[in-house]
Structures are given as C-alpha cells and as structure tokens.
Structure 1
C-alpha cells in the first residue's frame, strides 16, 4: 500500500481574513512528507495549482522519492471540490457541475471536500444522483473537521457507494499525515494513483492532530493577520 495525504495547503493558499492561509512553503511540506513516511501528497491550495507546481519542481530538481499530485481546492458555487491531477487553474464560483466538468476536461478527478463542514453547501447536492455520479470520491475523513461531521460524510459515501478518501487539510506542516489515503498500487505514477481512487482500492489511516499543533497554527495566522493590518503582510507564494 502506498500512502498519500490528498488535502494539503501551502503558503500559496490565500484567505480573505488571514491572508496567507498555509504557514509552510511547498518545499517545507515536501520535506515533512518525506519525514513522516508518505509516498505522495496533493498540495491543494485554494483555487490555485501554484503550490503543487512549486513542490513538483522541487521534487524533480532534487530527485526526491515522493510523488506530487498537481491539484487545488476549488471553491464552486456550492462548496469546495478537490481537483486532483489537473494542469491549470479552474475558475472559482462556477456551478458545481461546471466545476466538475472543468476538472475532468483536464484529465483530473473530482472529490467532494469535507461535505458537512460549516462553510460548505455541497452535501445536499450529493443526494442528487445526477450530481453525485459525476464525483469520483468523497472526503470522508478530514483532520480539520469534527468527528460527527466526518462520520456523516462516511455514511454518505457508503449510502451512495462512492469511494472515500482521507486528508489532513494541513495548513501547518506538523499536521501532515493525520489523514492518510492508502492505495493498493505498485507504482505511484499519477495515472495509477487517480485510477486507484476511482476504483476504491483504498484503506484509510485517520488521526486527529494534537491541540498544540492547532494552537501553533492559529498563532501564526494571527501574526499574519496583524502584519496585514499594519501593511507588512505578504501576498505571494513562497518557494
């Protein structure tokens, strides 16, 4: 089994309040992923593939033994969708089916991210067979979502007979690997990874990060917010 964290954020993620949403660079995330024994990660920054592209280039230059899935967490009109295996940005705010179609046109797969999280409206759409059938998987464990909402997502995947994946939704490198999707594959080439998800050749490793990690994350976010307020905040991806 090959281990992947399929939902990770870097300094290329932007939040309307906090500013830079992920506190570690793509390079730092790659190094941490190697330390915790992952075979691959998908850096899924908000509405941009810049972070995953930077990670991919770093891995290529250093010839590191890890697979980087180019992706993004795309905000559709109805909530967040993980776009895995894409090669260019997808415009945010599109209707849900248009977003999914844009992902598939690039050869990627569409995953309904944390369907019951407070800030998304995607779960009701998954009860519509014409919409649900267009998704490739549902994120049934997100390490940034409470147990009750993750359980609801898991039950939804079972009811709809959809593959279920796990992701850390890490915005801080120490949270990497707290939601792991284990894939029954020999090689970690992108096509094999995406195919294994679609075929539900999956086992999950689900663990919540310790409270100290979350305290560190939001202390850093608060510092970023303060820098923004005094005009010293950064607005670009870090390498």
Structure 2
C-alpha cells in the first residue's frame, strides 16, 4: 500500500457535535481539542464559488432559505450559520473553501475534503474543488485527501488534479468496490462503519487500499474497527472518543 500520512481520527465536519458543522468555529474547536485532522464538505454556489456546507439547501444549518445551486455567493452575505448550534456561535458565516483551507494550512491540520456536488453539478464541482485544493496546498508536504460519493466528481477531480489522493465513499456495501477504486485511481475506500467486517477490512487492505469509517461515535465500535486495522475514523465525539481510546497523542 501507498504511504499513509493521515492520523487515525478525523473531526467530522470540523466541530463534530460541539460546534456548528462546516464552519471556522468548528475547525477551531477540533484544534483546541488536539485533533490534527478535520473532514469537511465543499460544494459550489450558482456563480461557482466553492463553499463549505453539507446540504443542498440552507435551512438545516443556517437561518437562510433556498437551494445553493440557485444562489450566488453574495446572497449568502449576512446568513447566520452558527446560531442553530448555540448563541455563542451567532453570526458565523458560511465559509468559503479558501477560508477553511487557509486555516488548515496555517494550523498544520490534515484535511479530508469531501466533494459534495449539488444535483447535476458533479463534474464541474469535482474539477473545481480539485483544482483549488491543488493550488491551496501546492507548497505543503501532505495534500488533502479528496473523497466523494460521486464517482463522476472523483473522475473529474482525477483529471483536474491527478496528484491529489482520492477516496470513494460508500454507504451500502458493493461487491465491485475494487473495480470502482481502480477506475478512479483511488487510494482509499470510505465506508459507513456499519457495513464493515473484519474480513472486508482485510480484503480491502489485501487489494492495496486504505479503509476509513464514518461516522464512529461509540467507543466500543471504534476500538473494534481499530483492532481490525481500519486506517481512519470520522467522529462527532471530539471529547469522549479520543479519551476512551487513549489515543490523544496520536490524533
């Protein structure tokens, strides 16, 4: 298998369950809790600005309304993406990819950038996010790990920035995972932890790929996955899980 520079634990969407997801305060929370790696989602606005947000719409994680694919970046000005999580986060903006990339690079944090295209924008999102990631991290020793559920997006990312590592996300098990990874020239398979077994982890490793698991919040399950050799875990439990695993020095 290829060299694997990434730590065992990633803070899911930056702040896990302690801060508004996919925001700068979330990334700051992960850093404060000694995480050295964060995972976050990137999609495009209507006018092709890369922003960090999970959903295709604004309603769940902000006081805004509407579909991101139909909104220009300037229409996000003044939207509060933090108050839903707590009054202390009031006024938190929807960040640009460039803002979060700058934070990660400055603070020496590893990044898993999930390419999260709005429906119908898979190819252009994969291309743009990969190009931007390559540019932002061009002077850094360890590049971000790109991942996506969209194979179209990952193929576009491969063409746009072939040197960046890529991982395929799957929620349900697929028997042709090896064929898919080869077609993407990927380095890792990112799985819903519930579909993983010791044998599947062993098979993925035997084929030369890394395996990561999301979203792992139970300490017993986390320890089991680590015992199986899983290479990375995404967690919302930023305080309790590292302590439970006694891995604080390794995250």
TM-score (norm. length: structure 2)? 0.42
Relative CO higher for 1 or 2, CA cutoff 8 Å, sep ≥ 6?
Answer: 1
Higher fraction of strand: 1
Of structures 1 and 2, the larger Rg is shown by 2
TM-score (norm. length: structure 1)? 0.43
